[in-house]
């Protein structure tokens, strides 16, 4: 059982490492770009899903401009929260690696 737990923890560590490496590339492009992309992705996805569900359940398209702005605002907020969350995780990982002895497998750079 402990071997299975060790494998799971190793998998989680690799997954977190890949996530931080990906975040390093994303943050290099800047916060405005991340927030705009998140806003567009969330907003347009929700508009599309809502439109399809309205058509399937009600039988007509009933999308309004206020709904579009609501979804775009939700995407904007998700972008800000997502940026803040990943920045905190990234900075914690950097601080952890600075305090720990060098690990050759860790490729996070400030």
What are 15-39's pLDDT values in tens digits? 988 988 899 999 999 999 999 999 9
- State the pLDDT confidence band at 5, using cuts at 50, 70 and 90: confident
Query: Tens digits of per-residue pLDDT, 33-68?
Result: 999 999 999 999 998 898 888 888 888 777 788 888
Query: Do 36 and 79 form a contact (C-beta atoms < 8 A)?
Result: yes
Band the pLDDT of 110: cuts 50, 70, 90: low
Q: Which two tokens stand for residue 12?
A: 């989680």
| Residue 97: pLDDT over 90 | no
Confidence bin at 107 (pLDDT 50/70/90): low
Contact 22, 89 (CB under 8 A): no
Overall pTM surpassing 0.75 (yes/no): no
Q: How far is Cα 23 from Cα 19, in angstroms, rounded to an integer?
A: 6
């Amino acid at each position: 059982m402990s071997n299975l737990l060790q494998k799971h923890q190793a998998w989680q560590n690799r997954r977190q490492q890949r996530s931080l490496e990906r975040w390093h590339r994303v943050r290099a492009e800047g916060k405005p770009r991340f927030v705009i992309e998140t806003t567009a992705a969330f907003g347009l996805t929700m508009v599309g899903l809502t439109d399809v569900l309205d058509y399937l359940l009600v039988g007509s398209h009933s999308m309004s401009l206020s709904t579009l702005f609501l979804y775009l605002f939700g995407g904007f907020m998700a972008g800000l929260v997502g940026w803040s969350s990943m920045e905190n995780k990234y900075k914690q990982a950097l601080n952890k690696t600075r305090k720990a002895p060098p690990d050759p497998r860790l490729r996070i750079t400030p």
